[in-house]
Amino acid sequence: MTQSIALIHRAGWGGAEQTLLDLIAGLPGEEWRVTATVLKNRFSRNLAALNVNVELMRKIPAWRKGRDFIACYVCTLGMVGMAQRICAKVIIAGDIRTAPFAIRAALNLKIPSLVFIQDSTIEQRHIMAYRVDEADRVLCPSNRQLQHTIQGGVDPSRAILLPVGIDTDRFNPNRDGSHLRSQWKLRKDAVLVGCIGSMSSLKGQDLLLDAMLSLMQEDKRIQLILVGSGKKAFIRELTEQADEFLSNGRVRFVDWMDDVEAAYSAVDVVAVPSWSESFSRVTAEAMACGKAVVATQTGAVEELFDGDRCGISVPVGEDSPMQEALARLVNDAELRVQLGHAASERIASHFPLAKSQEQFRTILQNICS
């Protein structure tokens, strides 16, 4: 018998949305049917491609404890109506900002609610403000996020660690990125550092440039590629910061690529200079591709690296340790290979997508039984 799931999600596209897609894709169609209330964007299109029933909303209001009361009330009623119509067994909030609507609708219908916490910018006070403490289950991608959520007021019995799973059929050391190195016209002895992901101050590309520019002045082999999209003003600031190396192609900006696995394969070192992460999907994907990674100590990085056996972690917001780690990897090809091999094995054994999908199915079965 097929059981119905009601999903509400407010954000656009990023690692959190890819994680939701991966988990939904792992639900057997003969057992579960998902209907999603979302905004019209890339996430809604990808959901539809998975045969999810998508009900578009022009706007999902912000939960502001009294402000926009009518809009919030209407949104909650809409969730109640949708969940009733599909005979939902559970209502899921894909992000904390839609948690109040999912939880209130679930309480109204006397069915369980489940909330994903995948936003590293959430403060502990938001846990109560968004009513997350009232959810039947709260899923967190890292131990750091799990403890943060519990300290914010969620009962430990309701908080569950669900690490992000990586599709190693897509992300693996056997991918070939040589065509990109040719397309980017790299010198034969180039050591290419890559920073892959959305462009924003939270992701720390400006910090990375600070660390990289002096290294590039000292060593002509070093080149930097930044792959991703973001706010034009921030990208403009980055291009001004890297101005002296743009004209000769040693720093290159590339818009987001659907075949991002090829970008991982094309680089020699991956840098993840984020100020804050809930998990750090980029780090895990790069590791799965067998790359040596330098990442700030945020999200699940320390869990992913297993100490420093599978990568090099550095303090958040400090360019000197980042610079030292990058210099070490640029100058030690053997270390790059060693870390990359350990990294790909670590992801394959501890963070495979199938494992996360199975855990998610078990959580749903338990909460709906």
Segments making up each domain of the chain, as ranges:
3-165+352-368, 178-350
Task: Let me know: does 343 contact 293? Beta carbons within 8 Å.
Answer: yes
CA–CA separation, 116 vs 139, rounded Å?
A: 5
Taking residue 120's Cβ as centre, other Cβ atoms within 10 Å add up to 21
In whole angstroms, give the CA distance from residue 310 to residue 304: 7
Structure tokens at 154: 């969620």
In whole angstroms, give the CA distance from residue 257 to residue 96. Answer: 28
CB 191 within 8 A of CB 269: yes
CB 136 within 8 A of CB 113: yes
pLDDT of residue 67: 67
Per-residue model confidence (pLDDT) at position 63: 84
The reported pLDDT for the residue numbered 315 is 96
Contacts for 119 with CB less than 8 Å, ≥ 6 apart? 16, 95, 96, 278
Three-state DSSP class for residue 31: coil
Which residue type sits at 239? T
How distant is the alpha carbon of residue 24 from its chain centre? 16
Residue 183 CA from chain centroid, whole number: 28
C-alpha–C-alpha distance, residues 116 and 138, integer Å: 6
pLDDT in tens for each of the 369 residues of the chain? 789 999 999 987 888 999 999 999 999 999 999 999 999 999 999 999 999 999 998 888 888 765 678 889 999 999 999 999 999 999 999 999 999 999 999 999 999 999 999 988 888 889 999 999 999 999 999 999 999 999 999 999 999 999 999 999 999 999 888 999 999 988 889 999 999 999 999 999 999 999 999 899 999 999 999 999 888 999 999 999 998 898 888 999 999 888 899 999 999 999 999 999 999 999 999 999 999 999 999 999 999 999 889 999 999 998 899 999 999 999 999 999 999 999 999 999 999 999 999 999 999 999 998
Q: Which of 327, 180, 312, 188 is nearest to 254 (CA)?
A: 180
Pairing between β-strand 269-272 and β-strand 292-296 as defined by DSSP bridges = parallel
pLDDT of residue 13: 85
CA dist 323 and 211 (Å) reads 5
Rounded to the nearest 10°, the torsion over CA 165, 302, 229, 38 is 50
Specify the amino acid at residue 211.
A
Compute φ and ψ for 42, nearest 5 degrees. -60, -35
In contact, 113 and 96? CB cutoff 8 Å? no
CA–CA distance, 353 with 259 (Å, rounded to integer): 18
Query: Residue 113 burial by CB count (10 A; 0-12/13-18/19+): exposed, middle or buried?
Result: buried
pLDDT score, position 66: 59
Q: The tokens 């091999």 sit on which residue?
A: 341
What is the structure's pLDDT at 150?
Answer: 96
Q: Could you check whether 3-165+352-368 and 178-350 share the same CATH topology? A: yes
How far apart CA 6 and CA 88 sit, in angstroms, is 6
CA 11 – CA 125 distance, rounded (Å):
20
Q: Which CATH class is domain 178-350?
A: alpha beta
Instruction: State the CATH architecture for 3-165+352-368.
Output: 3-Layer(aba) Sandwich (3.40)
CA distance 357 to 27: 7
- For residue range 70-91, what is the model confidence (pLDDT) as tens digits? 889 999 999 999 999 999 999 9
For 250, counting Cβ atoms within 10 Å of its Cβ (0-12 exposed, 13-18 middle, 19+ buried), the class is buried
Alpha-carbon distances of 217 from 212, 221, 273, 317, 367, rounded to whole Å: 9, 10, 20, 22, 57
Residue 168 to residues 66, 240, 272, 347, Cα–Cα distance (Å)? 45, 37, 20, 8
Nearest to 208 by CA among 221, 225, 188, 191: 225
Q: Which amino acid is at 365?
A: Q
Contact between residue 226 and residue 205 where contact means Cβ atoms under 8 Å apart: yes
